[in-house]
Structure 1
């Protein structure tokens, strides 16, 4: 009988500069960051924009429901959902070195009644029957150690992500907006969710583009979105009014390919 070879993981390392601690995975590329004196503050701009789902969600429900992160990074989204938002929170991370690093260096608390950090393959997690329609928020940030491209990025994966969402649920995905891969990824998401349930934010200066996808969400009127953005800024100190200015429908070239 042939034994399955266990994967080997490169070491998780850290660097610090100007009060910010950075996570690396056996490379120079940053996999996450935390301001040491303000661990609940989301440091990286693209990670802040991963919270843009909040614009589409009723403010009365912001602290309710189940938030899931696929890819732990430096645990910024996990800390935010579990801490300031006080949501039931699950993080799925395939690399045990990342989980250990987050517990040691990035203020990730131990599992408790509202937090479950799972050492598992995200592809397997999203297809498990037990996880169908269990998430109200799904954050997807799955990159290899070189941070070159998403490691899970096909239509079947995004369809499974939609299956994980409850009705009215919202997903954010980190893509590279200045890469040719963005159009391919966005098209796959639109095919899984429907073109009327997918939006994107303009790229950050580093090129990260956040895509928001929803399962059965009615888009509020602009003035309602503006009120929500102001509320998010007041309560959570996130630049939500800027997000709202950056939200775009998918490009016509992608819609025509559906």
Structure 2
């Protein structure tokens, strides 16, 4: 979450772009400034906002299940280690982009989304999030508390929880990462979205390393100013780059995701995650992780 709105679709007619611009200008003038979740609707898309400057979630009307924002596509890099997980827990619902993609494209996977704000959950129909069933459940709860529970252990935990002023402190604490590690299956993987502008990143990465050891990678997310953390239980190194690229090419045959560059960034990100001195430099514009 907290990513800039994508550029206008060049295929959209000029009239539609003008109508969308007018909708956006009304949104700027009328949107509340108190962190209340609000939806900007145009002819081509819906977006979720907690303030007027940052986009929490973005949905194409033409293809509601498509991952429009680059960081969400990078977070799907977990497929390189878990191409068909039995269970995924998603901390932070937003507009449901990750939830909808996993629900549609991973038919053998059970998805549980945990969202602390009932006002966000109330928007699920507008963002075309399917109703709960045997494969999907949306839970209104604090994600930091949820992972301390005793329910089934997911292979993947996706952390994308944000408030108007950034990531909640409890989702970047050592206790939270320790609880995620304990909750994950024996070969499980944690994936988290960070803002490059978040000065707490060195603290978060240090807390992750204290729990997961060297089994972690941090890389620039696709087409955005976000970073994606990957941390896993098991061997301290990812598979070889050649292995990851082979997996990416096979997965790209069934997933509309750029997993080949994601595989390269994940592998390079191991070195970044291993160097605490580099953590303080992650937000530099020239960084090309």
TM-score above 0.5: yes
RMSD between aligned alpha carbons?
Answer: 2.2
- Equivalent in the alignment of 1:139: 158
- Equivalent in the alignment of 2:28: none
Alignment check: 8 A CA contact 2:70 2:221 kept: no
- Equivalent in the alignment of 1:184: 203
Are the structure 2 counterparts of residues 199 and 251 from structure 1 closer, same or farther at C-alpha, using a change threshold of 3 Å? closer
What do residues 111-157 of structure 1 show as CA deviations (whole Å, max 9, x unaligned)?
001111001111110111235xx1011100111123x3344211111
What stretches of structure 2 of length at least 5 have no aligned partner?
1-33, 280-289
- Equivalent in the alignment of 2:10: none
> For 2:57 and 2:195, how far apart are their aligned partners in 1?
16
Shift of 1:10: 5.2
> For 1:71 and 1:35, how far apart are their aligned partners in 2?
20
Alignment check: 8 A CA contact 1:74 1:102 kept: yes
- Equivalent in the alignment of 1:96: 118
> For 2:167 and 2:136, how far apart are their aligned partners in 1?
28
Shift of 1:181: 1.9
Task: Say whether 1:37 aligns with 2:62.
Answer: yes
Task: Say whether 1:81 aligns with 2:102.
Answer: yes
> For 2:278 and 2:222, how far apart are their aligned partners in 1?
25
Are the structure 2 counterparts of residues 30 and 256 from structure 1 closer, same or farther at C-alpha, using a change threshold of 3 Å? closer
> For 2:261 and 2:217, how far apart are their aligned partners in 1?
15
Task: Say whether 1:20 aligns with 2:45.
Answer: yes
2:138 paired residue among 112, 117, 123 = 117
1:70 paired residue among 61, 77, 91 = 91
Structure 1 runs of 4+ off > 4 angstroms?
A: none
1:209 paired residue among 227, 239, 246 = 227
Give the TM-score normalised by structure 1.
0.85
- Equivalent in the alignment of 1:230: 249
- Equivalent in the alignment of 1:3: none
Max Rg structure: 2
1:245-256 alignment, distance < 5 Å? 245-247=264-266, 248-249=269-270, 250-254=272-276
Shift of 1:180: 3.1
- Equivalent in the alignment of 1:155: 174
Are the structure 2 counterparts of residues 36 and 83 from structure 1 closer, same or farther at C-alpha, using a change threshold of 3 Å? same
Query: Which stretch has the larger CA shift, 81-90 or 19-28?
Result: 19-28
> For 2:195 and 2:221, how far apart are their aligned partners in 1?
8
Alignment check: 8 A CA contact 2:88 2:111 kept: yes
- Equivalent in the alignment of 2:29: none
> For 2:221 and 2:196, how far apart are their aligned partners in 1?
6
**SS state of the match for residue 177, structure 2?**
helix
> For 1:208 and 1:97, how far apart are their aligned partners in 2?
25
Give the TM-score normalised by structure 2.
0.77
